[in-house]
Structure 1
Amino acid sequence: MKNWNYTRLIALSIFICSCSKSEENTPIESMYFPANNSSIWETKTTTELGWNENEVQPLLDYLELKNSKSFIVLHNGKIVMEYYFNGHNDNSSWYWASAGKTLTTAVTGIAEEEGHININDKVSDYIGTGWTSLPLAKENLITCKHLLTMTSGLDDSINGIDSASLQYIADAGTRWAYHGVFFKLQDVISQATNQTWNNYFNTKLKNPIGMSGLWLQTVTENVYWSNTRSMARFGLLALNNGNWNGTQIINQNFFTQSINTSQNINLSYGYLWWLNGKSSYHLPSTQFEFNGSIIPSGPNDMFMALGKNDQKIYVIPSRKIVIIRMGNAADNETAALSDFDEVLWQKINAVINP
């Protein structure tokens, strides 16, 4: 009996070792990056991933019902789903709205890495004093980092980023409020690099990752427009921690900081990125603190670029997934966040979690 058990133990050990070697020898799919200046983008199927094909159509029906124009899902860089609605197509441009804030974050990180700026410096070091209507002592409290984290202390009830519109409500760093003043970072970078914002952006971010698109200036903001695949390219850069096919576009330490809690007031906010899975969050235009995660049905490690009328970049590192949604407001809402996110994620989960 002892000999039989010993023999069985040896056989089991051999089996375990062979399985381990087999797993070690199983190739891990490397991150795919589409070539610049090419319409070719490799794909994979939901079947290959073991996703629930039967739930794809209900997801698409919901997206179309909710005024979507485009929807892309990437897994490890490859396109799994790409759909267009309501006359939109892969060449059509659409606005990113506040989802484009994260483009400014990225370029800020690049400018700091190149030694042009330091985000801990006060804004007036770069664009001069008098850029707000605040007393000089209060204005000089505002650093570039405060603009990245929405903690400038400026009055968010007043629209506009001219000096007369930028009025004091609290000391910088003591209050979180969603405010368009972050656009001043583009002026900071332009002054610090002695280049136009567009030129620096194109040279350092847009061209290296093969994006299309352009910035269009309105009265109060600078809005980025592009096709949906360009938004997906930026999402893929974010999924890969600021690295594009072996080239570190955004300093990795800066990028990591940007997708983690940046201050102790709104735990769900990084450097203009929204963060899921935190214990509480604030929404634009309110000082109320909500308990729980922003999107309860969404993955806890998800970070997001969210824009007016439901422009979305969802990045989920644990699943190697990027999801893009462009379109009109799902429910006549205009805020960066709405109930649409929660219902949409319930339907996405039905596909990716069979």
Structure 2
Amino acid sequence: MALRILKIILGTLLAVVLIAVVYINTAGKDLLYTATGSVSRSLCATAFVAGLSPDQMFREEQRPLMSSVAWAIRYQVDRAQREVRASLLGGFTARAVFRPGLGCLLVHGNGPVPEANGFVPAPIASPYPQAPVEPADPAIRQALDKAFAEPNPAHPRLTKAVVVLHDGKLIAERYAPGYSPDTPIYAHSLTKSVINALTGVLVREGKLRLDQAAPVADWQAPTDPRRAITVDHLLRMDSGLPFDETENTDGPLSPMTRMLFLEHDMAGYAAQTPLAHPPGTAWGYSNLSYVLLSRMIRDAAGGSAVDAERFARHELFEPLGMRSAVIETDETGTPVGSSNVYASARDFARFGQLYLDDGVIDGRRILPQGWVDYSHSQTLKTGYGAGFWTNLVNEGSVPVWDAPWGMPQLPKDMFYARGAYGQYVVIVPSERLVVVRMGITLSNSTGIGDVIADIIKALHRQPSP
């Protein structure tokens, strides 16, 4: 009997091992490379762009995101070579390499690193004082206390920075330990709003039009339905491309995940994606759209990663005083315009001020006349505009995510940039207010809407000058 039981146990174990081997070498292979790619890229940027602790970032961000396999992940930070390698069970190795002026690049294979030398950008002067600005109003200090509070330690908010501008002046800010006014923070989808601005610059220069067919070579066949997609459709996410964080047609990974971690030419991959709906008829959150827009920006700038970064610095970052901002690229030099900007909270406050001031900064017009109104005008019947979220819809929820469109406790004219894990640039024109919140909130509400409501109440209690 014991021998029979042992045979059953061994047979079961063998079957499990065989299934695991088959899975790892088919569908599971991509998932495991995605895990190591995420770790290597995140920790590379943490170490060499942000100047923060890779170990802390792994604990706070990467380990919770991949809890089922985190125990098997190992990583090495090579400060001499300025790269990070991550592996899982000794294999599935991924490598991310820092390039000066360009951030970190997830490298596929062992070939040479494109544009490895990057470039040394000229320093950008800050419009703000060096030390953090403490709020003079106790009520605003209390609002910042609320922003950094941890009401549920089991699901920490991990707020890293909050910056408040009122009437164009920096009136309050606070940072988590280890962070400072100049710490570049992973912006996630705040990046899409930066791509909105760079697209606006090209429109102002006459190099793009909103109503023109998107200049994507793979879509130009007369019978291709994607030929009807315009630049406006891509910005508004109603191009008909799929809701790419969830819908998957080629395996266990969403199109977004495959694009970000497995493809060396992200825009090339995005261009091959079939439509889920006719252009202009349905809204679906689209990282693919913003990488395609990023390819247009790269091409207009000159065709390389350095060209694209210099264009962004000259046309946007330098005029705004965004001294720490950098957009990472893929191996073809296309900016990862869906997600991969690093910039300080102060930088993003200045970016928000640009949109509060109708695209003008210090008397210089950066964005075309009317671009800001266009950016937060409603798309179909959603709470999305064109690169920004709006506060126009306060009922129902974002499809698939079951998340609210806006913040009903704030004025109706509010619009905002939003990124995963609690990144916000909130612009309230009627209050002449910009609030930036950045952090690593993986599974809880940030409470930022209530914090901003408290800030507005505090401003209303202050006597007029």
Q: Which residue of 2 aligns with 1:274?
A: 389
1:322 and 2:434 correspond: yes
Secondary structure of 1:72 counterpart: strand
Do the aligned partners of residues 222 and 83 (structure 1) sit closer, same or farther apart at CA in structure 2, a change above 3 Å counting? closer
Which among 381, 385, 407 is matched to residue 265 of structure 1? 381
Do the aligned partners of residues 184 and 73 (structure 1) sit closer, same or farther apart at CA in structure 2, a change above 3 Å counting? same
Within 5 Å, give how 1:181-220 maps onto structure 2: 181=288, 182-195=290-303, 196-212=307-323, 213-217=325-329
Tell me if the contact between 2:327 and 2:342 (Cα under 8 Å) persists in the aligned partners: yes
CA distance in 1, matches of 2:385, 2:279: 16
Which among 349, 357, 364 is matched to residue 247 of structure 1? 364
CA distance in 1, matches of 2:213, 2:392: 31
Q: Which residue of 2 aligns with 1:143?
A: 230
Q: Which residue of 2 aligns with 1:68?
A: 159
Tell me if the contact between 1:151 and 1:176 (Cα under 8 Å) persists in the aligned partners: yes
Q: Which residue of 2 aligns with 1:114?
A: 205
Do the aligned partners of residues 215 and 192 (structure 1) sit closer, same or farther apart at CA in structure 2, a change above 3 Å counting? closer
Structure 2: where are the runs of 5+ without partners?
1-123, 151-156, 249-254, 260-265
Do the aligned partners of residues 174 and 45 (structure 1) sit closer, same or farther apart at CA in structure 2, a change above 3 Å counting? same
Structure 1: where are the runs of 5+ without partners?
1-35
Do the aligned partners of residues 235 and 342 (structure 1) sit closer, same or farther apart at CA in structure 2, a change above 3 Å counting? closer
Counterpart code for 1:204: E
CA distance in 1, matches of 2:182, 2:300: 34
Give the superposition deviation at 1:60: 1.6
Tell me if the contact between 1:96 and 1:307 (Cα under 8 Å) persists in the aligned partners: yes
Which among 103, 115, 128 is matched to residue 194 of structure 2? 103
Give the superposition deviation at 1:339: 6.5
Which among 142, 145, 163 is matched to residue 57 of structure 1? 142
Which among 120, 126, 129 is matched to residue 218 of structure 2? 129
Counterpart code for 1:190: R
Secondary structure of 1:207 counterpart: helix
Q: Which residue of 2 aligns with 1:4?
A: none
CA distance in 2, matches of 1:283, 1:41: 39
CA distance in 1, matches of 2:203, 2:455: 37
Q: What's the CA shift string for 1:205-261, capped at 9, x where partnerless?
A: 111212122112369755100122111111111111110011111112122211222
Q: What's the CA shift string for 1:147-190, capped at 9, x where partnerless?
A: 10010111221323514862221101000011102221111122
CA distance in 2, matches of 1:304, 1:184: 22
Tell me if the contact between 1:178 and 1:285 (Cα under 8 Å) persists in the aligned partners: no
Do the aligned partners of residues 93 and 284 (structure 1) sit closer, same or farther apart at CA in structure 2, a change above 3 Å counting? farther
Tell me if the contact between 2:423 and 2:439 (Cα under 8 Å) persists in the aligned partners: yes
Q: Which residue of 2 aligns with 1:179?
A: 286
CA distance in 1, matches of 2:200, 2:454: 35
CA distance in 2, matches of 1:193, 1:58: 42
TM-score, normalization by structure 2: 0.59
Do the aligned partners of residues 135 and 171 (structure 1) sit closer, same or farther apart at CA in structure 2, a change above 3 Å counting? farther
Within 5 Å, give how 1:297-336 maps onto structure 2: 297-329=409-441, 332=443
Counterpart code for 2:359: G
- 215-224 or 68-77: bigger deviation: 215-224
Which among 253, 276, 282 is matched to residue 169 of structure 1? 276
Tell me if the contact between 2:186 and 2:342 (Cα under 8 Å) persists in the aligned partners: yes
Give the superposition deviation at 1:84: 0.6
CA distance in 2, matches of 1:54, 1:348: 7
Within 5 Å, give how 1:33-48 maps onto structure 2: 37-38=125-126, 40-41=128-129
Q: Which residue of 1 aligns with 2:352?
A: 235
Which among 227, 234, 242 is matched to residue 155 of structure 1? 242
RMSD: 3.0
CA distance in 1, matches of 2:238, 2:158: 33
CA distance in 1, matches of 2:242, 2:222: 14
Tell me if the contact between 1:177 and 1:285 (Cα under 8 Å) persists in the aligned partners: no
CA distance in 2, matches of 1:116, 1:253: 17
Counterpart code for 2:126: S
CA distance in 2, matches of 1:93, 1:127: 32
Give the superposition deviation at 1:96: 1.1
CA distance in 1, matches of 2:230, 2:420: 26
Tell me if the contact between 1:116 and 1:193 (Cα under 8 Å) persists in the aligned partners: no
Counterpart code for 1:38: S
Counterpart code for 2:275: Y
Secondary structure of 1:147 counterpart: helix
Counterpart code for 1:238: Y
Tell me if the contact between 2:302 and 2:308 (Cα under 8 Å) persists in the aligned partners: no
Give the superposition deviation at 1:137: 2.5
Counterpart code for 1:240: D
